[in-house]
């Protein structure tokens, strides 16, 4: 009797375990099947990894970026367009984590839960997808970046549509290089640097310090400083590229006086600097179109006074993503509140996004002052026609030193004042060294192309 009881108990236990396991796997299947099917380890997939019947992907003008013909994935017939759009469209694999062919593979392939991959071919037609990017700007940006590694992002700060987003190094998705994993030319080629890489922002970060100072430092607009090119901040010196002479905050931004902004960061203190940086997107990630960007970083908890000073000019340990930089410029152009960027227009003919406001980054009067200061920076320091012959651009550059032998990343961010070209942008050129002579001309090529397309004369 005792033996039977213990056997029944064992059977009961095993039955319970069986149903628990069954429930667990069923729930998992329902929740994750559409992701599993796109896993590269799925042996049921062919060399086109489940894209045999995937829908077409178009740019904003109906240019076909990718389509499936005879069970093969075929990309745009122009290699330059294929390379320029790689990080948004993706390739046959799912290596590019933020590309639409990775994130939206089940929508593109119209994965069917009941039939799995066993749906008859005739029913397998996938959903089409339209993106907001313009291949003409993509091409211009790819050519502008040339052999440099870096990223450029341009978006409409009124609607949120990303018109152009290019990351280099890139490769041809139609003919993936065999040595992609070993050749250093392709280092980080799977990464969309506009969204997933962060760099020391250098002087572009002065916009954050200026926003905090304009709000928090009494009499800041009437304060001046006589810059001799080097001065103590804490127990060590902060240096400028040259002696800037007597500068107020507007002139200090235009001439990019490090000492002026380093002293402001110290006057503001760690808490206020951190609070304003966080309001402007640091220490958190952006999410849109099913992707999450890398985080920009501002952490001065361990900084001494000199380091706090350097943090105010975007050095020390400060890191920023190009997308965050573009969103800050969009906020300044928009009276303090950014419109959130996105790059998917429609899936299966249905509108995927609508114009969405992000959290306010600064009060309107502060945004308006920064707007005017960035306008003056271009007017007095770079030259309006040097930045664009065709558009009225407000901007700020940054050259962020990243090694002791003086190598630096070159940044430029800003926005166009033109009503018919409301574009905010950020560009970073790895080891570009010179923001003025390297980064600005790259941005100009894209902006002038945008003017040719969108400007109403
Ligand atoms: Zn200076």
pLDDT tens by residue, 266-322: 999 999 999 999 999 999 999 999 999 999 999 999 999 999 999 999 999 999 999
Alpha carbon of 269 to ligand 1 centroid (Å):
20
Preceding amide of 244 cis, omega within 30:
no
Which structure tokens are listed for 434? 């010179």
Of 109-123, 160-174, 233-247, minimum mean pLDDT range: 109-123
Model pLDDT, residue 205: 98
Nearest to 141 by CA among 128, 156, 131, 151: 151
Predicted TM-score (pTM) of the model is 0.90
Alpha carbon of 218 to ligand 1 centroid (Å):
21
Of 62-71, 117-126, 339-348, minimum mean pLDDT range: 117-126
**Kind plus residue range of the DSSP H or E element containing 393:** strand 393-401
Model pLDDT, residue 329: 98
Model pLDDT, residue 172: 98
CA–CA separation, 90 and 110 (whole Å):
17
When pLDDT is averaged across residues 44-59 and rounded to a whole number, the result is: 80
Alpha carbon of 302 to ligand 1 centroid (Å):
25
Nearest to 280 by CA among 195, 376, 206: 206
Say if residues 202 and 411 touch (Cβ distance below 8 Å). yes
Model pLDDT, residue 16: 83
Model pLDDT, residue 250: 98
Alpha carbon of 383 to ligand 1 centroid (Å):
20
Alpha carbon of 408 to ligand 1 centroid (Å):
19
When pLDDT is averaged across residues 124-149 and rounded to a whole number, the result is: 95
Model pLDDT, residue 38: 55
Nearest to 412 by CA among 121, 185, 152, 171: 152
Q: Where are the alpha helices (DSSP H) in 284-414?
A: 305-311, 322-333, 364-377, 384-387
Of 29-43, 225-239, 334-348, 436-450, minimum mean pLDDT range: 29-43
Q: Residue 24: which pLDDT band, with cuts at 50, 70 and 90?
A: confident
**Which residues have a Cβ under 8 Å from the Cβ of 96 and sit 6 or more positions away?**
86, 87, 90, 102, 190, 191, 192
Bin 287: left if φ > 0, else alpha if -120 < ψ < 50, else beta: beta
**DSSP letter (8 states) at residue 92:** S
Alpha carbon of 214 to ligand 1 centroid (Å):
19
**DSSP letter (8 states) at residue 420:** T
Of 51-55, 119-123, 177-181, minimum mean pLDDT range: 119-123
Alpha carbon of 151 to ligand 1 centroid (Å):
29
Model pLDDT, residue 74: 97
Model pLDDT, residue 162: 98
Q: What angle do CA 142, 147, 149 make, to 5 degrees?
A: 80
Q: Residue 43: which pLDDT band, with cuts at 50, 70 and 90?
A: very low
- Computed over every residue of the chain, the mean pLDDT equals 92
């Amino acid at each position: 009797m005792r033996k039977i009881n213990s056997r029944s108990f064992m059977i009961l236990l095993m039955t319970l375990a069986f149903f628990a396991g069954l429930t667990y796997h069923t729930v998992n299947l329902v929740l994750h099947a559409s992701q599993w099917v796109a896993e590269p380890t799925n042996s049921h997939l062919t060399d086109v990894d489940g894209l045999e019947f995937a829908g077409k992907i178009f740019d904003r003008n109906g240019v076909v970026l990718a389509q499936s013909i005879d069970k093969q994935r075929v990309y745009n017939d122009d290699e330059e367009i294929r390379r320029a759009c790689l990080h948004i469209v993706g390739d046959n694999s799912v290596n590019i984590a933020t590309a639409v062919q990775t994130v939206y593979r089940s929508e593109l392939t119209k994965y069917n839960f009941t039939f799995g991959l066993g749906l008859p071919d005739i029913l397998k037609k996938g959903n089409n997808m339209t993106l907001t990017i313009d291949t003409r700007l993509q091409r211009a940006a790819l050519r502008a970046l040339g052999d440099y590694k870096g990223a450029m992002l341009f978006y409409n700060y009124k609607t949120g549509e990303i018109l152009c987003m290019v990351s280099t190094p890139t490769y041809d998705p139609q003919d993936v290089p065999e040595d992609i994993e070993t050749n250093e030319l392709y280092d980080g080629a799977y990464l969309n640097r506009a969204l997933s890489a962060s760099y020391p922002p250098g002087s572009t970060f002065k916009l954050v310090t200026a926003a905090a100072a304009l709000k928090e430092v009494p009499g800041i607009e009437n304060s001046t400083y006589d810059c001799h090119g080097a001065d103590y901040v804490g127990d060590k010196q902060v240096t400028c590229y040259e002696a800037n002479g007597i500068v107020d905050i507007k002139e200090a931004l235009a001439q990019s006086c490090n000492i002026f902004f380093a002293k402001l960061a110290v006057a503001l203190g760690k808490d206020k600097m951190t609070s304003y940086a966080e309001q402007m997107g640091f220490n958190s990630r952006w999410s849109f179109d099913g992707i999450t960007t890398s985080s920009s970083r501002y952490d001065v908890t361990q900084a001494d006074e000199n380091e706090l000073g350097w943090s105010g000019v975007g050095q020390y340990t400060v890191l920023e993503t190009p997308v965050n930089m573009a969103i800050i410029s969009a906020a300044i152009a928009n009276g303090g509140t950014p419109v959130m960027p996105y790059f998917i227009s429609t899936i299966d003919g249905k509108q995927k996004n609508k114009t969405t406001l992000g959290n306010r980054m600064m009060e309107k009067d502060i945004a308006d002052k920064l707007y005017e200061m960035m306008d003056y920076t271009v007017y007095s320091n770079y030259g309006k026609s040097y930045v664009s012959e065709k558009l009225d651009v407000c901007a700020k550059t940054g050259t962020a030193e990243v090694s002791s032998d003086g190598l630096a990343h070159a940044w430029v961010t800003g926005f166009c004042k033109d009503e018919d070209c409301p574009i905010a942008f950020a560009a970073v050129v790895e080891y570009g060294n010179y923001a003025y002579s390297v980064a600005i001309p790259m941005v100009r090529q894209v902006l002038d192309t945008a003017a040719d397309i969108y400007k109403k004369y």
